[in-house]
Amino acid sequence: MTALLVEGVERIAVLRANALGDLLLALPAMEALRRAYPSAKITLLGREWHARFLRNRPGPVDEVVALPAISGVTADGSEAPGEIYDDLRARRFDVAVQMHGGGRNSNPFIRRLGAALTAGLCTPDAERLDRWVPYIHYQHETLRYLEVAGLLGAGTCDVEPRVAVIREDWAELNQTLGRLPRGLVAIHPGAGDPRRRWPPERFAEVADRLGRPVVVTGTEAERDVVEQTLAAMKRPARAVIDELSLGGLTALYAACDLLVSNDTGPRHLAAATGTPTVGVYWCGNLINWGPLSRRLHRPLISWTTRCPTCGRDGTSPGIEDCGHRSASWVGDVIVDDVLDQAQDLLR
């Protein structure tokens, strides 16, 4: 692998401009780049929230350049304004790395940065980079981007993401929530895609039967499912809905003994702080997004393969979405199985 190392690299750009879980699962690959190129400056081409979250936080990223809305790269937008390319080319990147996806839209963006070498992923219809590996849908995201780092001679033995909790995170948590009870368990019943949501009454039953102090987290968009979980519980619990920044939420999860969650960014965040997690996963998503280790992280798997509403197959990556997004695809996961794994981790 050392034969793939590039000499004289001082500046590396990494494109990863998407959501929380996307960032976290790419961190091991960025850490591998940091170890392979210890004197290089690593610039994350991301979004504004990346800059806020990563500021002053130890890790492989030296700086974040927040990209504007660019169609197919950061959002549904328009063609990137010419000045963003001028600014990025002025940074004179030695290597530009595409850790963003299949490359149909992102590879042309990467190639316009003027780096001496480009590397990343390619679907069959994507523009080729100087060094590339094929993008195959069913591959774990962390391993996918470690393969990209490997194109540049970077290897690693760390496969689970890690995030440092910094002083500002603890200060915000203490100021907002005050003293937390010992033995706290977090429940996160939301997910961006409703099909990935386990029924809230089952989260409530797990929380009640654990007999621990409980905090139920969620975003404003997930308020309904948080409130449904609280209403179904027989024991009191504290809701935390958008009261904390991402840094404060990092500290909250680090302070918990366990998180029970759907397949969503907060599960990745809690795991990255070292907190044990129990996650409810649809089988297809487990391949790409599930935890890679089992000592601290236990996925419960739904084997539903067809839409509960219309019966259309959901396992083929290229199949047209049937549009039925309100029905849960993880409803066959039972409470006792989740509870068994949670209690095992709490021992």
The pLDDT of residue 34? 97
pLDDT tens by residue, 165-186: 999 999 999 999 999 999 999 9
| Domain 167-346 in the same topology as domain 2-150 | yes
CATH of range 2-150; options 3.40.50.970, 3.40.50.2300, 3.40.50.2000, 2.120.10.30: 3.40.50.2000
Name the residue ranges covered by the structural domains of the chain: 2-150, 167-346
Res 77 pLDDT > 70: no
The pLDDT of residue 119? 98
| Tokens 């390619």, residue located | 122
The pLDDT of residue 323? 85
Calpha distance 321→318 (Å, rounded): 9
Structure tokens at 152: 């540049």
Distance of CA 266 to CAs 80, 119, 126, 257, 291, Å? Answer: 30, 29, 31, 15, 13
- Plot region of 192 (φ>0 → left; ψ -120 to 50 → alpha; else → beta): alpha
- Plot region of 342 (φ>0 → left; ψ -120 to 50 → alpha; else → beta): alpha
pLDDT tens by residue, 195-254: 999 999 999 999 999 999 999 999 999 999 999 999 999 999 999 999 999 999 999 999
Report yes or no: 36 and 153 within 8 Å, Cβ to Cβ.
yes
pLDDT tens by residue, 290-347: 999 998 999 999 999 999 999 999 888 866 778 888 899 999 999 999 999 999 999 9
Res 1 pLDDT > 60: no
Res 137 pLDDT > 60: yes
What CATH class has 167-346?
A: alpha beta
Looking at the DSSP bridge assignments, the partners of residue 131 are 119
